Amino acid sequence: MIATLDIFAPQSPTTPEDTGVSPEILSDLVLRFAFRYTSFTSEKASKELHLPIPVTTDLIQRLKKDKLVENLGAAGPMDYRYAITDAGRERARRLYEISGYVGPAPVSLDEYCRTLELQLASLPDISPEEVSLAIRDLVLSPETVELASLAGSSGRSLFIYGPPGNGKTTLGHLLHNAVSGTLWIPYCIAVEQSVIRIYDPRFHRPAPLDVPPDDMSKVDRRWIRIERPFIVAAGELTIEALDLGYSAELGFYEAPLHMKANGGTFLLDDLGCQRVSPWDLLSRWVFPLENGTDLLTLQTGQKLQVPFRQRLVVSTTLDPEENISPMFLRRMGYRVFMNDPNERIYAEVFRRYAASMDLTVPDALLIWLFDRYRAEGRPMRGCEPRDLLERVRDTCRFRRIPLQLNEKTLSLAWSGYFGTSRVSNAKGNGNGHA
């Protein structure tokens, strides 16, 4: 890493050997690139492969010496045009059978691990005040706020459980808002002839990089500076998705989601909705949580040890004592139970959301609302104030009347949200009231 202005960045290589990747692997990458074009310039190859001009030119000259590419003449000042030869085409076809990757040149796995650890050690600590500020939109009990703050400021993993609709997913999202700093990640890494793509524009947001051109030439363009990632996986997650994904059509590997989340947050949402059992899914992460590394498998059977260095947040409605592996729970940093709100918390959530709609809430209306919950034996959920008030808005908009909150509009919202009223003969749940 080098200092350039106020940031640290990976240093640009000056020779193929400086890249940390075998020059033969890089030459094969250049040849696969050349196979795609009738002709190309060294500048174009440098730009597409994210390698410095001197390194790219060196690799092209090696291919030229082996008669795999030929020089077609000058393309501009200090730039030349090349074309792949028949021998080069034949070799490129064989290379595509091994790997079809063409894009930013890879870095080595060792370099990725070292650079990630170096950056994580220099990232700013998260203060309790920053966590409290990030989750201020949620109305939580003091104990829940303290536990969430401890998990957020320590960077440890967090297990959030409780009835549905009480803000578990929202808490996981908001905690990431307290995370600051940026990371450099490679576009991909190389393990011998295999390429593993890490950068994913679906999840990685490039961070602003205000660097003068003279300084930018010192930065290794095989890396990209991003905001610390936040990745969410829910019911679509499978056990296979936790290992390397190989595309036979593309000819390279895709890193699993938790590897792409390194340096940031990985939220496993709605645990229990996946097609794989929660026990099997979470048991897969016992070793990574314990050791900070994960083992991935190539198609050849070769095992790779990669960093497992993200904050893991798990959200579920399952009872952890009955459905979750004790081995996994012991390795989670903190557990937070998000119960149904009592009347005091419910009223505060209701008033806050109503205020965001420029509505006032009479005390008598809340008393009416709580009586209706008790009459129908319904537990109160933290999401319901928002959901009911949104339906009040729908009603007023449909009737073309000014937005108004009263028993009439709230009663229609209730019926539209919960359906036909139930006869009041059910017992209360005992934990939804002040």
31 with 136, same domain: the answer is: no
pLDDT at 181 over 50: yes
pLDDT at 241 over 80: yes
Residue where one domain finishes, among candidates 286, 317, 337: 337
Helix (H, G, I), strand (E, B) or coil at 44: helix
139 with 281, same domain: the answer is: yes
pLDDT of residue 180: 87
In a domain, 215, yes or no: no
Confidence band of 15 (pLDDT split at 50, 70, 90): very high
CATH of the domain at 314: 3.40.50.300
Q: How far apart are CA 198 and CA 187, in angstroms?
A: 6
Contacts of 152 (CB under 8 A, 6+ apart): 126, 130, 131, 134, 135, 175, 178
pLDDT of residue 6: 55
Mean pLDDT for 264-286 is: 90
40-44, 258-262, 319-323, 347-351: range with lowest mean pLDDT: 319-323
400 with 358, same domain: the answer is: yes
Residue where one domain finishes, among candidates 304, 337, 370: 337
The share of the chain scoring above pLDDT 70, in percent, equals: 94
pLDDT at 425 over 50: no
Mean pLDDT for 112-128 is: 90
Mean pLDDT of the chain: 90
279-293, 355-369, 378-392: range with lowest mean pLDDT: 279-293
CATH of the domain at 37: 1.10.10.10
HEC string for 113-167: HHHHHHHHHHCCCCCHHHHHHHCCCCCCCHHHHHHHHHHHHHCCCEEEECCCCCC
Cα distances (Å, whole numbers) of residue 290 to 157, 306, 331: 11, 14, 7
Contacts of 271 (CB under 8 A, 6+ apart): 278, 281, 282, 314, 315, 316, 318
pLDDT of residue 434: 31
pLDDT of residue 396: 95
Mean pLDDT for 309-321 is: 92
In a domain, 277, yes or no: yes
Q: When comparing pLDDT for 122 and 210, which is higher?
A: 122
pLDDT of residue 281: 86
Confidence band of 421 (pLDDT split at 50, 70, 90): low
145 with 265, same domain: the answer is: yes
In a domain, 211, yes or no: no
pLDDT of residue 280: 86
253 with 148, same domain: the answer is: yes
Q: When comparing pLDDT for 178 and 8, which is higher?
A: 178
pLDDT of residue 153: 82
In a domain, 134, yes or no: yes
pLDDT at 386 over 60: yes
Q: How far apart are CA 112 and CA 72, in angstroms?
A: 37
Confidence band of 142 (pLDDT split at 50, 70, 90): confident
394 with 282, same domain: the answer is: no
Question: Burial level of 88, CB count in 10 A (0-12/13-18/19+)?
Answer: buried
Q: How many domains does the chain have?
A: 3
pLDDT of residue 400: 95
327 with 356, same domain: the answer is: no
The domain of 320 spans: 123-181+228-337
pLDDT of residue 118: 93
358 with 413, same domain: the answer is: yes
Cα distances (Å, whole numbers) of residue 79 to 35, 71, 72, 104, 175: 19, 11, 11, 20, 50
271 with 294, same domain: the answer is: yes
101-110, 366-375, 414-423: range with lowest mean pLDDT: 414-423
pLDDT per residue over 47-91, tens digit each?
Answer: 999 999 999 999 999 999 999 999 998 887 778 999 999 999 999
269 with 389, same domain: the answer is: no
pLDDT per residue over 148-165, tens digit each?
Answer: 888 888 888 999 999 999
User: pTM of the predicted model, to two decimals?
Assistant: 0.87
366 with 321, same domain: the answer is: no
pLDDT at 4 over 60: no
The gap from C-alpha 132 to its chain's centroid, in whole angstroms, comes to 22
Q: When comparing pLDDT for 327 and 260, which is higher?
A: 260
In a domain, 133, yes or no: yes
In a domain, 428, yes or no: no
168 with 259, same domain: the answer is: yes
In a domain, 220, yes or no: no
Q: How far apart are CA 152 and CA 133, in angstroms?
A: 11
| Contact by Cβ (8 Å): 288, 294 | yes
In a domain, 301, yes or no: yes
| Contact by Cβ (8 Å): 335, 168 | no
Residue where one domain finishes, among candidates 102, 131, 160: 102
pLDDT at 422 over 60: no
